[in-house]
Structure 1
Amino acid sequence: PDYIRDNMGSLLSYYSGVEDFCEHADDIILWSGCDTTADVAEQMLDDGLLSDETLRRYFDSVQYGRDLSMEGDFVETKDGVFELVR
């Protein structure tokens, strides 16, 4: 897709080469409209990741976003945050 090709320079360093990158193109998720992993956490919440309203009230999207960054590969670009699923 265009959004992956347009951000190839930012994403390529997470793969062993262009061939590896192309093989995993379907595993790249764009969180459009997100600038940080905290935004991704908020979007996950809005998309129903946590449906319990009590949990939602105490949810710390900044901390969860930090955890997402430490546990996965997220790349912040001008088009949004990419999640590289492995």
Structure 2
Amino acid sequence: MSKKSREVLRADHSACQKKAIHAEQKTATQRELQESTIARRSSDLDSALKEKIRLENERDSLQAKSTSCIAKTRRSPQGQLSIHNHCKRNYTYRCL
């Protein structure tokens, strides 16, 4: 093998090593970005699920209050609805 062909092989080998190192660095960076994105999305999902549970509990509580107020509401002899102050404060009487 001639000296020139060895130099060409060494240059090619060096170029391949640089490409491999660059590819490894790029892969590592992409992996870090992916892991960071997954962690952020997981946190977002946890927050959304907690908010969903809170809103469902609030809805259930308001429905229970509304049902209670509706059940207790009576018509006066003049035909007007008697609405509890509690219902007025929470605007649940509007659903009547």
Normalised by the length of structure 1, the TM-score is 0.23
- Higher RCO (C-alpha 8 Å, min separation 6): 1
Higher helix share: 2
Normalised by the length of structure 2, the TM-score is 0.21
Higher strand share: 1
